Structure 1
Amino acid sequence: MFLGFYWSWAGAVSGLQLGMVTIPAFALKDTFVRLQCKYRLEPGESLYSVKWYKDGSEFFRYVPKDEPPAQIFETPGVDIDIENCTETSVAFGPLTYISSGKYRCEISGEAPIFQTVSHYRDLTVVTMPNDGPKVVGGRSRYHINDLVKLNCSFGRSKPPAVLSWFVNGEPANETFLRGPYRDVDGIDDLCTTYLGLEFRVQPKHFKSGDMKLKCIATVASKYSKIREERVEGMSPQRTPALESRDSAIAGDSRADRVQAGSNVASQNQLLLTVSLILCLCNALKYNIR
């Protein structure tokens, strides 16, 4: 598996043309790669050989007239998969760190001239952790003027990762960054990279009440992993408003209940007074008779 590659169309050389050359710029450790070197010949011309070199040492040769046409030369870091090699491509793997180097293909025409064209490209073997960046120090909610203090770490990788912080999708202000710092492991020189983020929260940092903080780790400019933290925001002005609204709602409810109780008591007292008056009237009427 590889994400970076290089291809080029070279110019013609009197009957022999170097076509598309494909060499990955980066490839993951323990994977297989295929290098390609295509060519074109003028009518009447024929191919003599296709040769592949790593750091100047030949590791694969294809000569159509030989039997067998393919020949392998033992080279550290290049374990040829002969079943998947052709006159225009060579496959090898699994890759190790010593597989990194300068790879060159060389194509030669047949006698008597043996015209030759070649092209090269560097290949770098990369180690990429399975897990994404790790972010520590965050909180689920921030208020205006709170201090955001996070740390993003990623590793172990080779080459070292480049870490980037984003606030709501925009690159963080450089004054917010702390680092980067790196810790290199003695085994295979694998590296863990750290980058801090520190700033005071301002109203502009909240989008619809939320703030998104994202750390991106990039290795060899091609492989990326992302970790995003989403937090809620609340300004100091909003907090009293919420408390006041809650208190106001509760106060109104109590006031309604008290007022309703007072009305009921007044009505009961009025009925009692009327009843007493009626009783007195009846008593007087009885005495008169």
Structure 2
Amino acid sequence: MVFLHRQYRLSMFVLFLTIECIISLQLLDLVVPSYVPLGTRAQLSCRWALGPADILYSVKWYKDGREFFRHVPRDLESFRKFQLPGVDVEVSDESGSNLTLTPAVPATEGRYRCEVSGEGPLFPTVSDHADLNVIVLPDYGPIITGFYPRYRLGERVRVTCTSGPSRPETTLAWYINGKPAPSSAITHFDEKYEDLQVTKMVLDFIVTEEYFRSNGFKVKCLATLPPIYWRSNEESAVREKKVYDKFIRIKEERGSKADRVLSKAIICNSLWQNVVIVSILCFKLC
């Protein structure tokens, strides 16, 4: 009976310790950037909390299941780095919970996990993970080609927006006078450039009266790689008044004909004066 009582007390004590460790050790927050531009430094953060009776045993970081950094306070070498392609810790704080990696390369992409453990005998452990993607931003664009400064009513507009090579594919969108262009007027193209993607989008529509505002209209191309890249380019055109231009040309042509008639009249008048002078001289000599 005494043995059973002691066994019961021991079981309850172990259960109490287990519950206390589970409740006390908490992983509060894990920050891993979803997108990191190629060549920039990613910052990782793992925020945790220990209870009053807890002692930190270790903080470990993994990528795709492989450990690349650890902090064990009681070890002589409390901070250790492990070689892993594409991953190297450049800066760490004293707790090992905030890391700055060296400039990102394609191999930096992957799943990152932070694992925090308490001291024995139970070594309670909590962890969480998040994915990091390395992206390549376009080095130019968006560029609009095929657009003219003047358009007539009923004329066809066919313009192309091109964004530079990127990874993943850049998202393009067309706007006419600040409003999204109709999907029926848009054609999308992709081109491979090594391991990157060149994105093109054609806008094709007929100019109608609704597009002209203050004798003109605007088109805009927006290129995005959410949530870190937003670029746009805009072009504007004025309305070409065909009747007005024709009137100007007719006026200029009429002006040219009048000038020619006037020149002929001056020449004829000059010749007539010469004839009169010659006739007078002949009359006097005779």
TM-score category (smaller protein): 0.7 to 0.9
Distance 1:13 1:170 in 2: 54
Checking the alignment, whether the CA contact within 8 Å between 1:157 and 1:219 is kept in structure 2 is: no
Of 213, 226, 231, which aligns to 1:225?
Answer: 231
Distance 1:211 1:164 in 2: 17
Number of aligned positions between the proteins: 233
Corresponding residue number in structure 2 for 1:278: none
1:157 counterpart = 2:166: yes
Q: Secondary structure at the match of 2:184?
A: helix
Identity percentage of aligned residues: 35
Corresponding residue number in structure 2 for 1:168: 177
Q: Using the TM superposition, give the Cα deviation of residue 92 of structure 1 relative to its aligned residue in structure 2, in angstroms.
A: 0.8
Matches within 5 A, 1:115-194: 115-178=124-187, 180-186=188-194, 189-194=195-200
Aligned-pair Cα RMSD in Å: 2.4
Of 51, 68, 71, which aligns to 1:62?
Answer: 71
Q: Using the TM superposition, give the Cα deviation of residue 207 of structure 1 relative to its aligned residue in structure 2, in angstroms.
A: 2.2
Q: Secondary structure at the match of 1:175?
A: helix
Q: Deviations over 1:49-106 (max 9, x none)?
A: 1111111111111111112211101111102214667421111121101111111111
Q: Using the TM superposition, give the Cα deviation of residue 209 of structure 1 relative to its aligned residue in structure 2, in angstroms.
A: 2.2
Distance 2:40 2:93 in 1: 14
Distance 2:26 2:217 in 1: 57
Distance 2:228 2:165 in 1: 16
Corresponding residue number in structure 1 for 2:46: 37
The answer for unaligned runs of 5 or more in structure 1 is 1-11, 252-289
Q: Deviations over 1:8-51 (max 9, x none)?
A: xxxx9321111121110001101111100011111121111111
Which AA in structure 1 matches 2:56?
L
Q: Secondary structure at the match of 2:32?
A: strand
Task: Determine which structure has the larger helix proportion and give its number.
Answer: 2
Distance 2:131 2:94 in 1: 20
Corresponding residue number in structure 2 for 1:214: 220
Q: Deviations over 1:99-125 (max 9, x none)?
A: 111111111111111111111111111
Checking the alignment, whether the CA contact within 8 Å between 1:158 and 1:219 is kept in structure 2 is: no
The answer for unaligned runs of 5 or more in structure 2 is 1-20, 256-286
TM-score (normalizing by structure 2): 0.75
Q: Deviations over 1:110-141 (max 9, x none)?
A: 11111111111111111112322111100001
Checking the alignment, whether the CA contact within 8 Å between 2:113 and 2:127 is kept in structure 1 is: yes
TM-score (normalizing by structure 1): 0.74
